[in-house]
């Protein structure tokens, strides 16, 4: 069997698929999912001896409709919530200090600064919410990725401090 493709190249479009067609624009493939990488994301507690503020190290993967990692220009909006154990929605009250953190990766240089080519993920360091006389051991983190095209993807992850 011989396949003939026009000089412009071939494009795979699934026929009869209810999962959707390949999302491909003039700029290339577009993300269809945002994944918070649980195995890499963790809380780094405040170090009182070195006066280092607490933080959350997180890795985010954008994937196309085939599940492959890809880069995309857009904005990442993080919200940090108190963790509600054994609840259908683990997001409790949003922290008032450092509860919302935003990263604008619409410029190529900013986008590249957060890209980790080894893991194929975006890497972010978030400020840990300030809680008087305590540090959260577990929090609920929500990320929203949005692009200028109107695309909006969300993900939620429960983040725990490593022991």
d(CA 109, CA 112): 5
Say whether pTM exceeds 0.85.
no
The DSSP line for the chain is ------TT------SS-TT----EETTEE---EEEE-TTT-EEE--BTTTTBPPEEEEEEEEE-TTS-B----EEEEEEEEEE-TT-SS-EEEEPSSSSEEEEEE-SHHHHHHHEETTTTEEEEEEEPPPBTTB--SEEEEEEEEE-TTS-EEEEEEEEEB--
Pair 94, 100: CB distance under 8 Å: yes
pLDDT of the chain along its 163 residues, tens only?
444 444 443 333 333 333 334 445 555 688 999 999 998 998 887 776 666 678 899 999 999 999 999 999 999 999 999 999 888 999 999 998 899 999 999 999 999 999 999 999 999 999 988 765 566 688 999 999 999 999 999 999 998 877 6
């Amino acid at each position: 069997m011989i396949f003939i493709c026009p000089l412009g190249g071939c494009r795979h479009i699934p026929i009869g698929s209810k999962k959707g067609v390949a999302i491909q624009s003039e700029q290339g493939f577009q993300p269809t999912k945002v994944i918070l990488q649980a195995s890499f994301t963790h809380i780094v507690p405040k170090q009182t001896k070195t006066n280092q503020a607490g933080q959350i190290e997180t890795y985010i993967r954008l994937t196309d409709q085939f599940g492959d990692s890809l880069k995309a220009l857009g904005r990442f909006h993080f919200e940090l919530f108190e963790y509600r154990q054994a609840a259908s929605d683990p997001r409790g009250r949003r922290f008032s200090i450092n509860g919302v953190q935003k990263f604008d990766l619409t410029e190529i240089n900013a986008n590249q600064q957060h890209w980790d080519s080894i893991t194929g993920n975006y890497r972010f360091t978030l400020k840990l919410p300030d809680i008087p006389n305590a540090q959260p051991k577990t929090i609920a983190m929500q990320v929203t990725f949005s692009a200028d095209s109107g695309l909006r993807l969300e993900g939620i992850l429960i983040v725990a401090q490593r022991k």
